Chains A and B, each alone.
Chain A
Amino acid sequence: MIKKSTNWPVTVIIALCSLLILFPLYMTVAIALKNPEEMARSIFSLPTGLHFENFANAIKATNFFNALGNSATITVTAVVFILLTNSMVAYAIARNMNKRFFKMLYFYFISAMFIPFQIIMLPVVKVTTDLHMNNIPGLIILYIVYGLAFNVFVYVGYIRSIPYELEEAATVDGASTWGTFWRIIFPLLAPVNATIGILSCLSTWNDFMLPLILLGNQDSYTLPLVQYVFQGQFSTDFNLAFASYLLALSPMIVIYLFAQKWIIGGLTQGSIK
């Protein structure tokens, strides 16, 4: 009884609504490629001259490659360590839920999900400055540590669904706890690792508040922070500003174009739990 033919009315509605998503992105590209004269003629038209000098100027003005390097370093390092350490903590908790210490630890971590960042925002700046951690390594450590609240929750749920027999067999064969974790459990975590990896990657890459309050040195600024700092200088030259926005957005868009199916799939998988 289920209709096999294409539902055209819905297709048309979905297509029309998707224009609302695409229009601001089209405008971003179009403005980035125009010069002020073309803008004066018509804001909406396709660019005619392709003014790539906007990009060259934006790269110079924002020190783009430096910021790109910072964002990439922070994101890659944080995500790798989040996957390695948060899963390990969750494993120890999941396999010892009958013990009071680990059970309390579990609730301790997940209860932090409800603490808004603003309540620790002011003191954390003080703590990190006192420890000389108001720099990129400090920022990375904070991302790894703050990841625990949500990630332990997701990992523990998944690890508890892995049959215990697998580990018992490994123990009988003489594997240590560490060996069991790295050789048996960690590879089995692939689907959750994908989800957590994608989520952490997106939130770290796009985070604005933590770099804003923590990073003192301009050389260590991330991509969003650079856009914010240079916003004032751009206010007269929109073409330059949009070239800069587009440059800042493009690494993620490129990754998304290639890994779209995988990214959406990974997020869906994690949410079904």
Chain B
Amino acid sequence: MAKRRAAFYLMTIPALLLFFAFHTFPALQGIYYSFTNWDGYSKSFDYVGFKNFINIFKDENVLNSYLFTFKYAIATTVLINIISLLIALGLNAKIKAKNFFRGVYFLPNILSVLIVGFIFNYLFSNVFPVWGEKLGSDFLSQNILGNSDWAWIGIVIVAVWQGIAYNTILYLAGLQTIPHDLYEASNLDGASRWREFWSITFPLLASFFTINMVLAMKGGLMVFDQIIALTGGGPGRSTQSIALLIYTGGFQGGEFAYQSANAVIYFIVIVVISALQLKFLQKREMDL
């Protein structure tokens, strides 16, 4: 028995040590630096207490990046979930070439976000404006990514284009868990399609809805690759996400400690939002 126990410890302790060294320890270090004024390269630095945190709340760049990130995360979460649920319903219906279309809709998920971003960057600047001109619209014939009011929409479009793939697959998996006889029964009762969806399909997808909402929101709050590829945070700072601000300020701007404080706040925000989402959505699941 002692040998068995020793084996179990041997299986886990190396992983525990490595995880602590490369995940927990850096996280603790990050928290520690957030109370200093270290720039990332100097030999010495001082403890400054909550100064960084106080300054962050007064920093317009930080505030803007939070506003942009929230706007973006909410828009992508809502759009991705609505569209992927619709596509999943379509792919679950009696359609021709079902497997082919499943393959097509899932394809974006396997592609690099960065490269997809580069491709769309070109489409936004050189292809879509050509259509806009043909339609005779001044608004559509400009590069949307170059307009500080609308650039965020461009990023949302690319994220939705790529993001629906994974959520569609999850919804499709969910739809296949719903027993057929429920629909037969509702057909006999003369329920309309609309009624069928709200009374059977949607409630039974509740747990998949929770997973998809939480995943999409978390992904949205962490947006980085798309922004690097599409706008680099511009025009001006209009599409600077929190992740991008921490990266650029921390590595290139000599704001190591300051952005560490920003990362701590960011962490708290993500945990609170995920927890609230789970609590709210799971309560809905249980009410069924």
- Chain A residues packing against B (C-beta within 8 Å): 1-7, 10-11, 13-15, 17-18, 20-22, 24-25, 27-28, 31, 43-44, 85-86, 88-89, 91-93, 95-96, 102, 105, 108-109, 112, 114-128, 141-142, 145-146, 148-149, 176-178, 181, 202, 205-206, 208-209, 213, 223-224, 227-228, 231, 238, 241-242, 245, 248-249, 252-253, 256, 260-261, 263-264, 267-268, 271-272
Contacts and interface: CB of A to CB of B under 8 A. Distances in A.
14 contacts: A6-B95, A43-B127, A92-B12, A109-B19, A118-B243, A120-B27, A123-B26, A123-B27, A126-B26, A146-B23, A227-B112, A253-B110, A263-B106, A263-B110
Given A176-B3, A256-B107, A261-B99, 8 more contacts: A5-B94, A92-B12, A93-B12, A116-B222, A119-B263, A122-B251, A252-B112, A271-B169
Contacts of B136: none
B180 A2 contact: yes
Contacts of A7: 93-95
The residue in B110, B172, B267 that gathers the most chain A C-beta atoms within 10 A of its C-beta is: B110
Contacts of B123: 24, 27
A157 B114 CA distance: 33
Nearest to A261: B99
A122 B250 contact: yes
A10 B25 CA distance: 53
Interface string B226-254: 00110000000000001100110011000
A interface SS class: helix
Contacts of A202: 109-110
Contacts of A21: 104-105, 107-108, 161
Nearest to B91: A14
B11 interface: yes
B interface SS class: helix
B200 to A, nearest CB: 13
A224 B256 CA distance: 26
B1 to A, nearest CB: 10
B87 interface: yes
Contact of B15 (A10, A85, A119, A271): A85
B26 A120 contact: yes
A129 to B, nearest CB: 11
Contact of A227 (B21, B104, B114, B173): B114
A120 B30 contact: yes
Nearest to A152: B15
A116 B221 contact: yes
A227 B118 CA distance: 9
A102 B114 contact: no
Contacts of A115: 23, 27, 267
B243 A148 contact: no
A264 B33 CA distance: 43
B68 interface: no
Contacts of A128: 22
A45 to B, nearest CB: 12
Contact of B22 (A15, A142, A205): A142
B63 interface: no
Q: Which 7 A-B pairs have the closest CB atoms?
A: A177-B7, A123-B26, A123-B29, A92-B11, A120-B26, A11-B95, A119-B263
A105 B118 contact: no
B148 interface: no
A95 B8 contact: yes
The residue in A21, A105, A117, A256 that gathers the most chain B C-beta atoms within 10 A of its C-beta is: A21
Contacts of A86: 15
B113 A122 contact: no
Contacts of A125: 251
A31 B180 CA distance: 46
B30 A20 contact: no
Contacts of A263: 106, 110
Given A1-B188, A18-B101, A22-B104, A89 B25 contact: no
A122 B95 contact: no
A125 B22 CA distance: 10
Contacts of A28: 119
B101 A122 contact: no
B7 A89 contact: no
A6 to B, nearest CB: 6
A96 B104 CA distance: 43
B271 interface: yes
Contacts of B264: 119
Nearest to A245: B115
Contacts of B99: 261
Given A27-B123, A264-B102, A116 B270 contact: yes
B132 interface: no
B8 A177 contact: yes
A40 B3 CA distance: 74
Interface in B80-129: 87, 90-91, 93-97, 99, 101-116, 118-120, 122-123, 126-127
